[in-house]
């Protein structure tokens, strides 16, 4: 590829001529990966551009490079950054990372109190989301807005989602909770403030033994950030279990019970 400058910016109505290219690429990429996605129409992509709720990447020569958009759900309590797609000719150069960062900032500007979430089967997206501060969550922590879940109807795995009573599917749910982040920042600030008085860190017990002899482990939140191997294994495990159960008895007919997430 010859040297080209890539610009990542908020999309405008001037970008609507890219909409067919974008939706065609979304569809062919999903087919190539053999995974499901919620289908998007060019009209919908155009709407997002007109609303200023999309981020586009283009070259200085006007070639389309990438795209992503914002959707608000549950009376704007939740925001999803959806439809991430990068032109195959420009993959592996950090474009998705830049787009996701910009759309995340735009989401925080437009909906500062909303929880930001995403559903994905992609390891790259999990990696990027982790770096932005998202955490893996159960589906029950996502929006219950029916309109959002209707988007899954066009996905090839919709029967699995239905069979699992919307509690699980091949996608992994990830969430950025601004309130939790604020709390974490406050706690860190307090700890930093208190630090000069205690130059030597006091070792915290990781478990204790009660008078009855029971052992209690200190509850520690599992940190997924950077633990990509874990994500990889998790995705493989999910595919194995959910697709196996679909094959064995149809998504709804499996006798086996699996408790994931």
Among 84, 160, 163, 175, binds ligand COA (CB under 6 A): 84
HSE toward the beta carbon, residue 53, CA cutoff 13 A? 18
Q: Which is nearer to ligand COA, 151 or 254 (CB)?
A: 151
Among 124, 137, 230, 241, binds ligand COA (CB under 6 A): 124
The answer to whether 29 contacts ligand COA (rule: CB under 6 A) is yes
Beta bridge mates, 9: 56
The answer to whether 86 contacts ligand COA (rule: CB under 6 A) is yes
The answer to whether 116 contacts ligand COA (rule: CB under 6 A) is no
CA pair distance 25, 29, nearest whole angstrom:
6
Cα 192 to Cα 28, 183, 199, 202: the distances in Å are 50, 14, 11, 14
The answer to whether 120 contacts ligand COA (rule: CB under 6 A) is yes
Residue number with the smallest Cβ distance to ligand COA = 96
128 burial type by CB count under 10 A (0-12 exposed, 13-18 middle, 19+ buried): buried
The answer to whether 6 contacts ligand COA (rule: CB under 6 A) is no
The answer to whether 96 contacts ligand COA (rule: CB under 6 A) is yes
CA pair distance 166, 175, nearest whole angstrom:
17
The answer to whether 97 contacts ligand COA (rule: CB under 6 A) is yes
* Token pair listed for 132: 């932005």
Interface contacts to ligand COA, rule CB under 6 A: 29, 84-86, 91-97, 120, 122-125, 127-128
């Amino acid at each position: 590829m010859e040297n080209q400058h890539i610009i990542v910016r908020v999309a405008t109505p001037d970008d609507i001529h890219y909409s067919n290219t974008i939706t065609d690429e979304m569809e062919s990429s999903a087919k190539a990966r053999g995974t499901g996605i919620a289908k998007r129409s060019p009209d919908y992509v155009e709407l997002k551009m007109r609303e200023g709720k999309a981020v586009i990447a283009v070259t200085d020569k006007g070639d389309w490079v990438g795209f992503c958009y914002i959707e608000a759900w549950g009376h704007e309590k939740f925001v999803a950054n959806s439809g991430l797609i990068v032109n195959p000719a420009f993959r592996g150069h950090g474009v998705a990372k830049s787009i996701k960062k910009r759309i995340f900032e735009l989401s925080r500007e437009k909906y500062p109190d909303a929880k930001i979430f995403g559903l994905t089967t992609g390891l790259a997206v999990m990696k990027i989301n982790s770096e932005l501060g998202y955490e893996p969550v159960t589906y029950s922590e996502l929006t219950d807005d029916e309109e959002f879940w209707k988007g899954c109807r066009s996905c090839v795995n919709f029967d699995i989602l239905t069979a699992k009573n919307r509690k699980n599917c091949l996608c992994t749910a990830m969430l950025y909770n601004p309130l939790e982040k604020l709390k974490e920042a406050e706690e860190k600030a307090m700890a930093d403030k208190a630090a000069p008085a205690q130059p030597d860190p006091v070792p915290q017990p990781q478990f204790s033994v009660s008078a009855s002899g029971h052992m209690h482990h200190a509850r520690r939140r599992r940190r997924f950030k950077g633990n990509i191997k874990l994500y990889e294994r998790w995705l493989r495990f999910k595919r194995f279990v959910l697709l196996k159960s679909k094959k064995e008895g149809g998504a709804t007919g499996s006798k086996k019970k699996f408790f994931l997430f």
